[in-house]
A and B are shown apart, each in its own frame.
Chain A
Amino acid sequence: MLLLGRACLLLALGLAILGAAASVYGARSGRPEWQAAGRRCVYALFAVLTVAMGVIELAFARSDFSFRLVASHSSTTTPAFYKLTAMWSSQEGSLLLWVWLLAGWSSLAVRAAGRRARALAPWAGAVLLALAAFFLGLINVLADPIQLLEPAAVEGNGLQPLLRHPAMVIHPPMLYSGYTLATVPLAFAIGALVTRRVDGAWIRVTRRFVLASWLCLTLGILLGARWSWSELGWGGYWAWDPVENAALLPWLTGTAALHSLVVQEKRGTLKAWNVTLALGTGVLAVVGTFLVRSGILESIHAFGASTLGLPFLIFIVALVLGSTALVLARRDVLRSSARLESLVSRETVFVLNNLVLVGLSLVVLWGTFFPLISEALTGRRASVGPPWFTRYTVPLAIAAVLLSGIGPLLAWRRATPRALGRTFRMPLAAAVVVAVVLLAAPVPDAPRALALFAVAAFALSAVAQEYWRGTRARRAATGLPWPAALGGLVARNRRRYGGYLVHAGIALLLVGVAASSAFQRVRDARLAPGASASVGGYDVRYVRPTAKVEPEKLSLGALLEVRREGRLIATLRPSRGYYPVADERRLGTLGRWFEGESTSEVGLLSDARRDVWAAVEPDLQPFRSMIDGIDLRFPLAGGRMEPLFLRALAERYELDAPPAAFRLIVSPLVAWVWVGGLVAFGGGVLAIWPARRRQRVPARARAAAAPAAAQGSA
């Protein structure tokens, strides 16, 4: 199947290049048959890449170690579930996943545009195919996922231990979907600029793709954070790592775009801003991909040094220069005829929210690339850490949450002081009450966290009030019971009420972030079995050591009892998993288990109020002589003897474990990070869900009926 896979990758490259050329020729000459051929190339590209993906997945499923990729990222003992997802743990395989997703979303976009923005479709298709051609060029020349290994390996290296986590199965496809979906608005923005059609048509096509990209990035970032919290063993969910930031950047500008596109749709303003945001978000998605693959910045999430950096850099520079030149060349059509009518209106808040979000992304961008900037300026590579990021991002995040509460309370176009008094009363009261209670309560001094709680209370009560008032109005108009009125209101105004739910989710998420960052208590302790340590009002007792031999790993850990005021509230089982490396000859039968990678399994008690988190690092030094002795006496014992030796070591550890190093953390409200993220995701799904098709009514009749229709919508 290797030949078929290789040939498909070459055919895909040919399709992408020829399809882009056919689309441009069709668009320039106005010949629909060439435009149709270009469109078909997009669909065919997806089909051919699906075959290539199928070939690789089949090789993984069959543990076909004549494929170099399979031998280096899987093994016969890798669980079947992880075998099928091991492909994207490699540079080459993940690039193929990237371009496959790009081809899939491009097919959907080109199909949608054929109905709604026919003039832009060939140009957008050409841009998407050119992007695919770049990635397929990299795949075919520098990062080939379908290489022959001769002679075929008897056993593979296995999947990287850190990636054996359910979140890691979905996390990469989600992030890549977010990145690739973000290139669709970029392609249509370029199409709109080339054809000088920067009005509402390109927005109508791309709006859903912007939201879909946002949804995928949201879920991808959340899963990555959850993985970090429960798997990495350092005690956090966000480290301002370059690769984490790479996903956050297009998320921030995409969030800004979601708001500013609505302003252009409703008011016809912000044309230049919107194409710039669409182009910027698309470029940041490619930059994010570049950061993961180039190895230019150190990150635990990156694939390490590679030869992909330079071509990526040239491509990004060309993309930025080309986009900028196009925007400048079209500045005459980008001038908006409409103006903002009042400074107190929803669109003004949207503009302010855009400034805050773009400000946030500039801060993150600067901090992420600071090592390169400092190296270029001073010759010395320096980096900025989490305190630098939080110093600048926290005030902007507070402003963003405040604006997310103000926006829903204002009408479009203008708001009167009387209406403001009516709508702001309750949210303001909620914010004041929360602020007063927190200032009066014995809460540690953390002014920025307290400010965030107050503005989050404002935003949450604003959203609750909007739902309440809307439901009440619909109930009054229709006479329906409360639940049916609420359902009808949301069903008829999905974008609006889905958006409000996103605001509530983000407020909850940031409450969790603020509380867990400002009030977290950490204790590093070295404990012998039977000893205890206190952290954040909890007593943690190391009851006994634990050990378990599994087919792929040896787990050494601890049984911990967590007590509060003497009452047992949880039993935690943190452990460290040791995975063997293949080199038995050099490292010995037992030694090879401790020379490879090891992962942390966190012991976690999680509820709405706080997480109690524990990680353990067993001390293996006292067992060194036993390990070396067995390796010396039984070199290359392997086979049936190895499990016996491992069990003996495990039993010895359980009987006579030396003191182990523990990291114990009590972190308040962490669960709200996940709850808030899921609420925001749910709101996004609600907003993107297609509305039921209404019966086609002649336009005139609709205009006459507009007020009545609006009554129904309320």
Chain B
Amino acid sequence: MEAALFIALFTAVVAWTTAPVWRRRSTGAIAADLSALEAERDARLAAVRDAELDLRTGKLSEPDHRALAAQLRAEAVEAMDRLEWAREERA
């Protein structure tokens, strides 16, 4: 009984883990890796939100925030441009 259980488990594990190799089918790892650019875009957008929160909680003055927000938005747009170019290139 125990031996039969193990043989069933062993067969299932070997068949399932090696299936991608026998089928030679990609299981979703085709796309180019854009994760770094996505991470950068998200970080830049979050920085714009953080600056706004810093203004509202008194850590930044209006003039300081204006200057900083302009810089942060420019960085965010640049990050999004890079991501879009990479996507177009991939397409």
Which residues of A come within 8 Å of B, CB atoms?
A: 1-4, 7-8, 11, 15, 18-19, 22, 32-37, 40-41, 44, 47-48, 51, 114, 116-119, 197, 199-201, 203-204, 265-266, 268, 409-416, 418-419, 422-423, 466, 469-470, 473, 477, 493, 496, 699-700, 702-703, 706-707, 709-711, 713-714
For A33, the chain B residues whose CB sits under 8 A away are 20-21, 23-27
CB-based nearest B residue for A40: B17
CA of A7 to CA of B6, assembled, Å: 7
Q: A4-B2, A411-B60, A703-B80 are in contact. Are A266 and B51 (CB under 8 A)?
A: no
Q: Are B17 and A19 in contact (CB under 8 A)?
A: yes
Give, as a whole number of angstroms, the nearest-CB distance from B53 to chain A: 5
Could you tell me if A118 and B21 are in contact, using CB atoms closer than 8 angstroms? no
Which of A4, A422, A707 meets B58, CB within 8 Å?
A422
Contacts of B80 in A (CB 8 A): 699-700, 703
Closest to A204 in B: B39
Docked complex Cα distance between A11 and B11 (Å): 11
4 interchain residue pairs of minimum CB distance: A710-B52, A200-B39, A473-B56, A32-B29
- Additional 18 contacts, C-beta under 8 A, given A201-B33, A466-B57: A2-B2, A3-B6, A15-B13, A32-B27, A33-B20, A48-B13, A114-B29, A116-B35, A116-B38, A118-B29, A419-B59, A422-B58, A470-B56, A493-B53, A703-B77, A706-B76, A707-B48, A710-B50
B39 near A413 with CB under 8 A, answer no
CB nearest neighbor in B for A710:
B52
Given A118-B33, A201-B35, A201-B39, A51 and B54 contact (CB-CB distance below 8 Å): no
Question: Known: A11-B9, A119-B33. Contact between A412 and B47, CB under 8 A?
Answer: yes
Residue in A34, A118, A422 whose beta carbon sits within 8 Å of that of B35 in the complex: A118
Instruction: Return A459 CB to nearest CB of chain B, in Å.
Output: 16
B3 to chain A: which residues have CB within 8 Å?
A: 3
Indicate if the CB atoms of A423 and B58 lie closer than 8 Å: yes
Pick from B9, B26, B31, B43: contact of A200, CB under 8 Å: B43
Min distance, Cβ A199 to any Cβ of chain B, angstroms: 4
**Bound-complex Cα distance A107 to B64 (A):** 46
Within 8 A of A (CB), among B21-80: 21, 23-31, 33, 35-36, 38-43, 45-54, 56-61, 64, 68-69, 73, 76-77, 80
Partner of B64, one of A118, A409, A419: A419
Closest Cβ–Cβ distance, residue B6 to chain A (whole Å)? 5
Given A419-B60, A703-B76: A710 touches B48 (CB 8 Å cut-off):
yes
Known: A116-B35, A118-B31, A119-B33. A707 touches B69 (CB 8 A): yes
Q: Which A residues lie within 8 Å of B76 (CB)?
A: 703, 706
Kindly provide the distance from the CB of A310 to the nearest chain B CB, expressed in whole angstroms: 32
Among residues of A, the one whose C-beta sits closest to the C-beta of B58 is A422
Q: Which of A114, A265, A411 has the most CB of B within 10 A?
A: A411
B17, A15: Cβ atoms under 8 Å? Answer: yes
Contact call B51/A710, Cβ cutoff below 8 A: yes
Name the B residues within 8 Å of A199 (CB-CB). Answer: 36, 39-40
Task: Say whether A703 contacts B45, CB under 8 Å.
Answer: yes
How many angstroms between the C-alpha atoms of A429 and B54 in the bound complex?
22
A19 to B60, CA, bound (A): 52
Write 23 A-B pairs (CB below 8 A) sorted by A numbering: A3-B3, A11-B10, A11-B13, A15-B17, A34-B20, A36-B28, A37-B17, A37-B20, A40-B16, A48-B9, A114-B29, A119-B35, A199-B36, A199-B39, A204-B42, A411-B64, A415-B60, A419-B61, A422-B58, A423-B59, A477-B56, A496-B50, A713-B52
The distance from the CB of B67 to the nearest CB of chain A, in whole angstroms, is 10
Given A48-B9, A118-B29; A707-B54 close (CB under 8 Å): no
- Whether B52 lies near A1 (C-beta < 8 A) is no
Cα-based distance from A8 to B49 in the complex (angstroms): 51
B88: shortest Cβ distance to chain A, in Å? Answer: 13
Question: Do A37 and B33 form a contact, CB below 8 Å, given A3-B2, A4-B2?
Answer: no
Q: Using A4-B6, A36-B29, A199-B36 as known contacts, say yes or no to A266 and B47 having CB atoms under 8 A apart.
A: yes
Contact B21 A713 (CB under 8 A): no
Q: Name A414's contact: one of B18, B30, B64, B77 (CB within 8 Å).
A: B64
How far, in angstroms, from A477 to B53 measured CA to CA in the complex? 11
Residues in B neighbouring A2, C-beta threshold 8 A: 2
A138 to B87, CA, bound (A): 47
Tell whether, in the assembled complex, residue B36 and residue A197 are in contact, meaning their CB atoms are under 8 Å apart.
yes
B5 at the interface (CB under 8 A from A): yes
Known: A3-B6, A415-B59, A419-B59. A707 touches B52 (CB 8 A): yes
A710 to B60, CA, bound (A): 14
With a CB–CB cut-off of 8 A, which chain B residues contact A700? 80
Residues of chain A contacted by B29 (CB below 8 angstroms): 32, 35-36, 114, 118
A residues less than 8 Å from B23 (CB atoms): 33
Residue of A nearest to B33 (CB): A119
A51 to B77, CA, bound (A): 51
Complex contact B9–A1 (CB within 8 A)? no
Q: A48-B9, A706-B73 are in contact. Are A204 and B58 (CB under 8 A)?
A: no
Which of A19, A34, A412 has a CB less than 8 Å from the CB of B50? A412
**Chain A residues, Cβ within 8 Å of B24:** 33
Q: Within 8 Å CB of A707, what residues of B?
A: 48, 52, 69
Complex Cα gap A422–B76 (Å)? 29
Q: How far is the CA of A414 from the CA of B6 in the complex (A)?
A: 63
- The answer to whether B60 and A44 touch across the interface, beta carbons within 8 angstroms, is no
Contact A36 B26 (CB under 8 A): yes
Chain B residues lying within 8 Å of A203, measured Cβ to Cβ, are: 39
Set of chain A residues within 8 Å of B48, measured between Cβ atoms: 706-707, 710
- Residues of the A chain whose Cβ atoms lie less than 8 Å from the Cβ of B16: 40, 44
Among B13, B43, B60, B84, chain A packs the most CB atoms within 10 A around the CB of B13
Find out whether the CB atom of A706 lies under 8 angstroms from the CB atom of B45: yes
CB distance from B59 to the nearest CB of A (A): 4
A117–B35 touching, CB < 8 Å: yes
Could you tell me the distance in whole angstroms from the C-beta of A123 to the nearest C-beta in chain B? 12
- B35/A469 in contact, CB under 8 A: no
What is the CA–CA distance of A413 and B48 in the complex, to the nearest angstrom? Answer: 12
Instruction: Return A255 CB to nearest CB of chain B, in Å.
Output: 21
The answer to whether A8 touches B53 (Cβ under 8 A) is no
- One of A32, A119, A469 near B30 (C-beta < 8 A): A32
Do the beta carbons of B28 and A114 come within 8 Å of each other? yes
* Cβ contacts under 8 Å, A48 to chain B: 9, 13
Contact A47 B13 (CB under 8 A): yes
**Whole-angstrom distance between the Cβ of B65 and the nearest chain A Cβ:** 9
Q: How far is B49's CA from A114's CA once the two chains are assembled, in angstroms?
A: 28
**Using Cβ atoms and an 8 Å threshold, which residues of chain B touch A699?**
41, 80, 83-84
A121 to chain B, nearest CB (A): 8
Return chain A residues, CB-CB under 8 Å to B30. Answer: 32
Q: Which residues of A contact B9 (CB under 8 A)?
A: 8, 11, 48, 51
Residues of A within 8 A of B39 (CB): 116, 199-201, 203-204, 265
